[in-house]
Structures are given as C-alpha cells and as structure tokens.
Structure 1
Amino acid sequence: MNGHRRTVLGLALLGAIEPLLAAVPMSGAPQRGTEALERELAAIVADPACELASLSVLAIRDGQIAYEGQFGRRRIGNGITPDLPANRDTLYRIASISKLMTTLGLMRLVEDKGINLDADVSHYLGFSLRNPHFPERAITLRHLLTHTSSLRDEAGYSFPAGTALRDFVTPGAALYGQGAMWASKAGPGEYFTYCNLGWGLIGTLMERVTGERFDGLMQRLLLQPLGLTAGYNPAALPPTALANLATLYRKRTTDTEIWDPNGPWIAQTDDYVIRPPAPPPGIERYVIGENATPFSPTGGLRIAARDMGVVMRMLMDGGVHEATRILQPATLKNMFARQWTADGTGKNGDTLNGFFNCWGLGNAQFPDQPARRLVEGFDAVGHLGDAYGLRSVFAFDAARRNGVIVLVGGTSSDPGLQKGTYSALARFEERILTSLYRHAIAG
C-alpha cells in the first residue's frame, strides 16, 4: 500500500462527463499494464451501450494483491444531492456471493459441532423437512449446498421475522399454500436447480444448532476472526461503514421494471441518504432457529472488495489468516471438491442458460473449458451474484493462488440484453474479467 499509490478523480455529472474513478495499483514498483488496465476499466464503466453506476475490482496474483481499483459513484445524486465516488473501502450488498460466505460459517460449525453433511437435516432443524412427493427420501445439507434438494423458489424464499419456515415447507401447515416450493418430478439428489430457499434453511439450521441469531453468528464465525467490517445486517454497521455503503442502481423503475438508458439512475436498494437502515421488520418477534431469512443468508452480506480479498487469501492459504487457523485444509478440500457437473443434455440439472455448469458445496466452479470458463487460462472456483442491479464475481485458482473480485453497482441497460461472446455473462462482465486477468494476473 505504500509507494506507488495513485488516485484519479473526475467530476461526474449524469450523462455529461465520465464517472468518477480511482485506481490503486499495489505494492512497490510500477506494474506492467496498470495504465492500460485503468483505461480499459474506465472505458467499460463509461460505455454508453451499458454504463455502470460503480465498479470495484481487486486482483490477486500468487497470493498477493496485484491491483485494486474503484470507478464510478457509490451515491448518485441526479443533480439533487452531491455524487460520492466509490473508494477502496466502499461496501456492496454482494448478492449470492453471500451464499459462499454463509457456507464458510457453516463449515466452521461442521468442524466445531460435528454437523454431518449427509445426515437428515430434520434432525438439526427440529422439524421434518421432506418433499411430499418423495417422503421416503431424507434431505441433507449436501443436497442443500449443491442445489439438489428438490426445493424450489417459486413460492418465495424470504419471509418476515416471526414467520416459522416449518409453516411454509410442511404440507398442511398455515403457509404451505399449493406446495410450489417442492419439485414433483425429481427427488432429493436427482436434479440441480438453483434455489435461494435452501440458504434460508441453512441459516436457520445454523441458528438452531448454536442458539445465536444469524447476523451475530456470522460475525463470530467468520467476519470478526478475519478483522472485517462487514455484516448481514446493515442496521448494525458502524457509521463510517454505513456512510461508505454503495447504493445499488439501475436505469429501471423498481415497480414497473421499465428500462430507460437515457433516464436517471434509480436507487434499487441500500439507499440511506435520507434515513439510516432500520432493523428487519418484526425483529421484536424474531425467534432464533425458526427463520433466518430476514438477514438473507442467501444474498444479504455487505462487504468491500478489499475485505473479500481477505477471505480469498485465507482460502488460498489453506484456511489460515495471519497465523490463525479459521478452517482446516481437509474441510476446504471437501467444500471445493466437485459435487455436480451438468451433463450437457439438461437431464441432470438446469444450467439457467449456461450460468451453472459445475458445483461444489456452496460454490460454483468455472473450469477452463469453452462455455464454462470466466476467462481463458483461468480455472476457478467461487460464486457469482446478481440482484438489485449489482453484478458480482468472486473467483480464484487455489493452486496458482490467483483470484479476481468484481463488484458492479448497477447498469444503465438490461444486462440480459448485453450478451457475452464466450460465456453466459454479460459482455461488460467478460470485458472486466478479461482486462483484470490479462493485465494484473497473466501480465
């Protein structure tokens, strides 16, 4: 961090001048390709085909931070309030990468509490969790972690405090409805379908096992041991972190969902300019071990790219952070072992048009193969995120100790129409990843 630090700031009036940008190449000597990388990333952020509200990136090469940069605005005033630039401490709601972080907390409990990944989760939840179409088959944590539990999101996956998940998933219970949360044609272990509800149950299980509320439990298990200013409960963030929390934007209405690339940026979530975040609604009715979804184990972690880099380096170092062991090597080997691979015919899972091809325990996998890779030459594991305008990537190659982190705070155009050329990602994501990998890692 000392030495070759550089910051470039530009005015950012909506639609008039390039977004604010600040880039911080790391460590001592000037790095090859840094200027080209900064130019490429700034051009991607300002591209009128799909402008980005903000962008924070970090690259790790051989276990060390090789580059980090921030571009655009964490707060956009639309001419009413001042714009605020993204910086190296800006936190983002990282969407589904939160699942990987939740899994790391769970794996600590697997070590500490002897939780069995292949046991019937009913034993840990305190109620029977069975697909009524396949009642003889137990559902395990391995099923939940690999999206093969036969649970589905069609009936919802987030519920107010005071709601018991058992009343939602149990046939005949008060909130069961038509049972759309259960697959009828494939039982546990048979078919991959990405499912957010599974992580609500995982978080609830973690509470039940420990007697601790999920947001505080994740502080104890993962965030505090790593020295991170982050959390699943924005109302509990310290004032300095809250002031640096990125609002997520789209140029899309929140209710009618109409895109207007030439219109104003519209806040989608984490807009706390007028008032600070409140605790989850109904928190006074919260019962530990009944429903952890108010804290969103599936997508609610707020954290900065730099702190995500701390997590990534701990994983690269075999579970050790600053001489303190967080997880055992055998636990990480089990977690990142391949559990499911798409068969290419759709018979064993839904890849969601190519986004999901290979899976470990709570992590996506991106082998260096056509249509499966993130970047050519980069064989990686990790997770992607997509919610409220945010698009995120956390991916690393443990053997070569290389990794990339990308946090996009919103887009001006529908990413679904910005097709990539070699993957299921949007074109701007491919461009960011390619630039980062080529200049900061392959170099």
Structure 2
Amino acid sequence: MGFIRPRTMWIAIALSILLNLNPAEAGTRNSPPDSINPVDLETFTRGFLAGIMKANHVPGAVFVAIHNDKVISCFGMGTADLETHRPMTADTVVRTASISKVLTSIAVLTLCERGKMSLDDDVNRYLKGISVPSKPWDSPVTIRNLLTHTGGFEDRWTATEADDPVAEVSFSKSLSHIMPRRVFPPGEVYCYSNYGMALAGAAVEGATRRNFQSLVKKTILNPLGMTKSGFTIDQGMEKDLATGYFSAPDPYPAQMAYFKEVPAISFCSTARDMGNLLRALLKDGQLNGRQVIPQEAVKKLLTPAFFNHPSVKGATLGMYESQAGDVEGIEHGGDVDGFTSLLFLAPKKSFGFFVAFNGDVSSMRDYLREALADRYLSGSRPRKPAAPTTTTPSTPKGDEGAQRPTETEDISGSYRHIRYSRSTVEKAYLMLGPTVTISRSEDGSLTVSYPEAWDRSTQEFHPEGKDLFVSEDGAHLALRRDPSGRVKYIFIGDAYETYEPVPLMENPRTTRILLWSFGAALLISAAMFSFGTFKAKSTRWYEDAPRWHQKWAWILCFWILGWSFLLSIRLCDLNMGYSFRLGIPWQVKSLFTLPILGCLTLIPPTLALARRPMDSKPFELPLFLCCFGLGAVFLGFLNTWNLLGFKF
C-alpha cells in the first residue's frame, strides 16, 4: 500500500481550496446529508482531485457519487492515455482490481438466495476438478469463510498471472496449480485472500455449470445496465480502456496483466456503470423500480459477519467496515499495477461513491473519502477516546482459555502483517522487510510506529479494557492471546490490519546481524586459506600442519557457493521479478542447487574435525570452528526463509 506524505496531502488540499472555494461556499461545510448540493460536490471533488493528482503525478481519475438514489456527480478528468492524449471520461473503462470481490460476493449471495448454494456448505461440494485439502481435526472451509476471508489460506503471488487473456476465461482450471497452504483454522482470523475469493467464483461455476464471467454478466451486470463492465475485456471495452501508470515524476505505463484468480481481481468498469451498482446497493437491490439484486443478498453484503475482536471493525460477506471521520461506512478498495480504486458506501446517509485513478498511489482514495465525509456527511468531529474502564469485551473465537496478563505486562516488540507466504520462497521477501513496532509506556498506553516507507503517523492507544486500547480518533487496538497467555495477534483499526509477533530469528535486525556475520565468515575463510597456502609453500613454520589449509579450502568453497546463491537470487529478483508472477523460470530454480552443493562441501571438514581436531595452530582452530559453525547457522537461516530446497 502506498501512502502520501502529510505535507503532500496538505498541498493537495490547499490547491483544491484555491481552485474551487470562495467565501460564499464556506457555509456548506458539514451541512446535513439530505442537502448535498450536486454542483458544490462536483466542484469540490474536481478541485480536490486536481490537487492530489498533481502532487502525486497521476494522469487521470473517474468519479461517481450517489445520494438518495440519484447520481449527483459523474465525471472523468485528466488523461486516460498519455501517448494518445485520450481524455478520461465517465465512460472510460478502468481496472477496479479487488473491487471485483464485491461483484463475486453478489453473485454468490444471489445464488444462495435462490437456493443453489448455501453459505455454510463445504466449498468442496461445489468445486469441479479441485479440492481444498481437509484435516481430520479441523472444520471444512465453507463459502462463508471464503467471503469473509477466514478460509485460513496463506498468501502467494508467484504463478498467479497468465501470458494472455485466454487463461482468464478458464481460470478455475488453474486454481489447483496455485493453491496456497492452509495455515489457520477456518474462522479463526481474517486473512485477506485473493485465492479464497477465486475459489468462491469457481464454486459459482460448479453450482450453476456455467462460465463465471458470462453468468455474472447475464444475472447481475445486464440487469443493472452495466454495459461496459465485466471480468473479461471485450472489444467494446478495450477501445475505451485507460492505461495504468506507475506514479513517478515521469509516470510510465504499467504492463497489462491477466490473472488466474479472476473473481478476485479482474473486474473492469466505468464510472457511469458503477453508479448503477451504487444505486442498487443503497436501495436494497432495486434500480429504477426493479429488484435486480435480491434484497437479502444486499443486506448480507452490507452487514458485518465476522469480527477479529468485538471492538474492532469487522468484515461483511464481501466488503468490510470503515470509518471516515464520525461516519460509519462499508467499503472495498482495489490496487493493481497502474490503478487504484475505492467503492465507499454510507448506508445510513444514503450516500456512496466510486473513484478510480490510473496511478498507483492508493492513499489518494483514502484522503478523498475523508474529505467528502468531513464536508458533506459528518455532523461532528471524531469522538475522543472513552475513559479507561475495567469492562472486558466478549472473548473472540480462538481465545478461549487464554491466561490474561497483568496490567504491567510488556507487549513491546516487532509485529508483521499476517498476509504472507509461509511455505514458499516468497517468504524471503520479508527478510529485511518493514515491521510495525509497538512500545508500552509506564501508564499502560501503547505507541505504534509504522515503517518509514509506509509514511503513516505514529499512533498512541490508551487502555480501555483488558487487551483493548483506543486512540484519540476512536480507533481500537485489540490483542488476542494463545492459551499460554502470549500475544498471538494484534488488531489495529479494522479487519485487514492484523499483525503477529515477529520471531527473534526473523526480525530484520537479527537478519542484518547474521548477514554481516556470514560476510565476515567468507572474508576470514578466504584470508586463512590464502595465508595457509602461502605459509605451507614458503616456510617451515607450517610443516606440522601441511594439510590444514586444504580444510579451509572446503569452508571457503561453502561460503562462495552460499553468497553466490544469495546475490544471484537478488539479481534475478531485480531484473526478472515481474516474470515471477507468471511462474519462477527454470534458470532461477536451478540456482537452488547451490546451497545443496554447499552442504556437500561441509562433509570433508566435518570428517577432519572428527579425526584430527587439533591438527592446526592454536589460533586457527577457534577461527575454523567459528566459520564452520556459522556455516551450519547459514543453512538454518536459508531454511527459515524457505531458500533451502525447492519450495516453490
């Protein structure tokens, strides 16, 4: 996720004010939601977008807003394609990325209302040619689990893209080849999963025996009048498709990607079409007097169905709760190379909007949401934290029997997001990755510091109950513990923000220390081998250990192989990283033989130590044991990051 520096945000806001506001309009701020002025909203939004797009070098945007079942603003601005200078309009097709999950959820919930599926059925009942492995001691993965991202899957991205759009048409055939491992019991914790939502789409195909894309088009998109929308791009959509850009001082185009997890990420649409979807969602599935989506399906889509913790915002069957100022909302964002988007609904205010940029700075959409909520929906500023209380919230699932900590227990440390691959080489991307740091003060409050690259302000949370804290803007931080009483998860603000403690050996600081140690072992091995070789040939000083330098040769060979592997993998990632999305090339896979060869080079020095441990000068043996011992640690280090063996 990208973030805008606060200074950049204020520049953008100032630009929007200078471009669009005058003293006469100042009185419209925080007006009641039933009196939104369409002209004022569009003028303000255009100005705000112009400022924030200029500050972040984003070419274009589309926007549509709905209030009281009416489209009060719908426009495109900026450029859809910098090469042809094609303008962005309300009919420009954009990639909505993960907002695709909203459409997939609607399809599933519609079939449930029609009796063709059940939310609590094992997903394997509907899958064809693929089966989610079951565990005797665990419950099956249900459709409900998939829609609430509680199926328990780890995250992976290698081999999830295809060379051409043909693979998208028959996406369900690819799912068995890219299935991630299950790492959590179903229903234990929210762990965002593209694969889980793709399985839901495959279940739709199994339940109806029809192609997913065509079924959605016929039963949802056509009744909604969304004629330029779909999970596959037809000729009519292609000519109006915006080009996505990586935002930089000089934006450059992103490569068009085709996905195997189609139901989770491939949906494309226009601002005008998304306006019809917003109207239906805000009016119980009705559009122009016709019931186009079952009322119960819409209700389930907009009603929280899973909570990591009772006091932390939860997830619905396809979306998630959010907060904009003091306005409660339901939303879903989307990010894919070159595009970022947001669908936001405030059902109690009968208001919603959709925005998409052909740039990759995702925080722009969040600042727009805050600005619109503050100006048109909020009746007051966000609430201050409640006074500390001893009330304990109800125990979340998976927390039964946990030993509660004392008030002074220290939970300080490093935490990382739970959405990552635990069983494949992708885990190595976390090796020096950023972590969230939590420190606890004497008064019991917590300070949460985010990585500098995230550009998020440090937050302070004050005690509100056992294992529950609240910030000044009303956001909650909650803990969940394992049966021994140790922190298992930390939840910050909403369902997605779930973190786990980082083990000591996987902490970035520990990793840096180990890498420096491995580098020192390489240099010592090279120096001692060179020194021993020189002495053995030139002086009688080394005659009592004529073969010892040969043992250093084996250790040196081990470290050369090890560092050659690490540096080669790094270079491959820098130069071929994008192609990993299509699958890891055989050239890269062949590099994983190097650590195995390195293991073989440790056999001769091991035998030498066993047979003639003192066959050396006194100062050599400690150095040799150090380098030899670090070699064993190095193999454990590679195994920790799934770099030992062929874990693809």
**Is the pair's TM-score, using the shorter chain for normalization, greater than 0.5?**
yes
The aligned residue for residue 73 of structure 1 is: 79
Structure 1 range deviating more: 63-72 or 383-392: 63-72
Partner Cα distance (1:233, 1:130) in 2: 24
With over 3 angstroms needed to count, the CA separation of the structure-2 counterparts of 1:204 and 1:136, relative to structure 1, is same
The match for 1:183 is 182
Greater RCO, 1 or 2 (C-alpha within 8 Å, sep 6+)? 1
Residue 324 of structure 2 is aligned to residue 388 of structure 1: no
Deviation at 1:35, TM superposition (A): 3.5
Q: CA deviation at 1:230?
A: 3.0
CA distance change for structure 1 residues 314 and 83 in 2, over 3 Å: closer, same or farther?
Answer: same
Alignment partner, residue 306 of structure 1: 272
- How far off is 1:332 after superposition? 2.2
Q: Does 1:102 align with 2:104?
A: yes
Residue 250 (structure 1) aligns with: 246
Moved more, 323-332 or 29-38: 29-38
Q: What are the equivalent positions in structure 2 for 1:75-90 lying under 5 Å apart?
A: 75-77=81-83, 82-90=84-92
Cα 1:212–1:55, aligned 2, differ >3 Å: closer, same or farther? same
Q: Does 1:210 align with 2:208?
A: yes
Quick check: 2:146–2:196 contact (8 Å CA) kept in 1? yes
Q: How far apart, CA to CA, are the structure 1 residues paired with 2:37 and 2:349?
A: 22
1:357 CA drift (Å): 4.8
Distance in 2 (alpha carbons) for counterparts of 1:70 and 1:167: 36
Q: C-alpha deviations, 1:386-414, integer Å up to 9, x for none?
A: 11121111011222211121101114xxx
Q: Distance in 1 between matches of 2:286 and 2:101?
A: 20
Give the Cα–Cα distance (whole angstroms) in 1 for the partners of residues 168 and 77 of structure 2. 37
CA contact (8 A) 2:306 2:314 kept: yes
Paired position in structure 1 for 2:623? none
**1:378 positional shift:** 2.5
CA distance in 2, matches of 1:408, 1:134: 46
What's the secondary structure of 1:399's corresponding residue? helix
Aligned residues between the structures: 342
2:53 to 45, 50, 53: 45
Equivalent residue runs for 1:27-426 within 5 Å: 31-32=39-40, 34-47=42-55, 50-77=56-83, 82-126=84-128, 129-132=131-134, 136-154=138-156, 157=160, 160=167, 169=176, 175=177, 181-184=180-183, 186-238=184-236, 241-251=237-247, 261-269=248-256, 294=260, 296-343=262-309, 357-366=313-322, 373=323, 375-411=324-360, 415=361, 426=363
1:73 is displaced (CA, Å) by: 0.9
Question: Deviation at 1:222?
Answer: 0.6
In the TM superposition, residue 144 of structure 1 has moved relative to its aligned partner by 0.5
- Label 1:316 to 1:41 Cα distance change in 2 as closer, same or farther (>3 A): same
Deviation at 1:344, TM superposition (A): 9.4
Moved more, 51-60 or 431-440: 431-440
Provide closer, same or farther for how the CA distance between residues 439 and 59 of structure 1 changes in structure 2, counting only shifts above 3 A.
farther
Are the equivalent residues in 2 in contact too, given 1:319–1:327 (CA < 8 A)? yes
| Paired letter, 2:240 | N
Question: Distance in 2 between the 1:264 and 1:334 partners?
Answer: 40
8 Å contact kept, 2:169–2:232: no
Residue 158 of structure 1, CA deviation: 5.2
Whole-angstrom distance in 1 between the partners of 2:110 and 2:231: 20
SS at match of 2:277: helix
Q: Distance in 2 between matches of 1:64 and 1:163?
A: 37
Counterpart code for 1:304: T
Q: Is the 8 A contact 1:129 1:139 kept in 2?
A: no
* 1:220, distance to aligned residue in structure 2 (A): 0.9
What SS is found at the alignment partner of 2:220?
helix
Q: Which moved more, 1:152-161 or 1:320-329?
A: 152-161
* Structure 1 pair 69–232 and aligned structure 2 pair: CA distance change class (3 A): closer
Cα distance change, pair 211–314 in 1 and its aligned pair in 2 (3 A) = same
**Secondary structure of the residue that 1:207 maps to in structure 2?**
helix
Structure 1's 165 and 434: CA in aligned 2 closer, same or farther, altered over 3 A? closer
CA contact (8 A) 1:233 1:295 kept: no
Match of 1:31, SS state, is: helix
More helix by share: 2
* Paired residue type of 1:85: P
- Structure 2's unaligned 5+ residue stretches are 1-14, 21-35, 380-648
Distance 1:163 1:29, change over 3 A: closer
Distance 1:130 1:34, change over 3 A: closer
Output the CA distance in 1 between the equivalents of 2:181 and 2:46: 47
Distance 1:35 1:167 in 2: 46
| 8 Å Cα contact 2:123-2:143 kept in structure 1 | yes
Once residues 294 and 318 of structure 1 are traced to their aligned partners in structure 2, the CA distance between those partners, rounded to angstroms, is: 32
Matched, 1:430 2:432: no
Contact 2:64 2:271 in 1 (8 A): yes
Sequence identity percentage: 23
Q: 1:150: how far off?
A: 1.2
- Tell whether the 8 Å contact from 1:157 to 1:197 is kept in structure 2 after alignment: no
How far is 1:233 from its partner? Answer: 4.7
Give the structure 1 partner of residue 606 of structure 2: none
Query: Matched residues in 2 for 1:193 and 1:30: separation?
Result: 39
User: Do the aligned partners of 2:61 and 2:355 also contact (CA within 8 Å) in 1?
Assistant: yes
CA offset at residue 63 of structure 1? 2.6
Contact 2:75 2:271 in 1 (8 A): no
1:130, 1:221 → 2: CA distance?
A: 28
Query: After the TM superposition, which of the residue ranges 215-224 and 336-345 deviates more from structure 2?
Result: 336-345
Instruction: Work out whether residues 147 and 318 of structure 2, in 8 Å CA contact, stay in contact via their aligned partners in 1.
Output: yes
| One-letter amino acid of the counterpart of residue 249, structure 2 | N
Contact map agreement 2:66 2:72 (CA 8 A) in 1: yes
What SS does structure 1 have at the residue aligned with 2:205?
helix
SS in 2 for 1:67: strand
Partner SS state of residue 358, structure 1: coil
| AA partner of residue 44 (structure 1) | I
User: How far apart in 1 are the matches of 2:46 and 2:170?
Assistant: 48
Alpha-carbon distance, 1:229 to partner: 1.7
* Unaligned residue ranges in structure 1 (runs of 5+): 1-17, 170-174, 252-260, 271-279, 281-292, 346-355, 367-372, 416-424
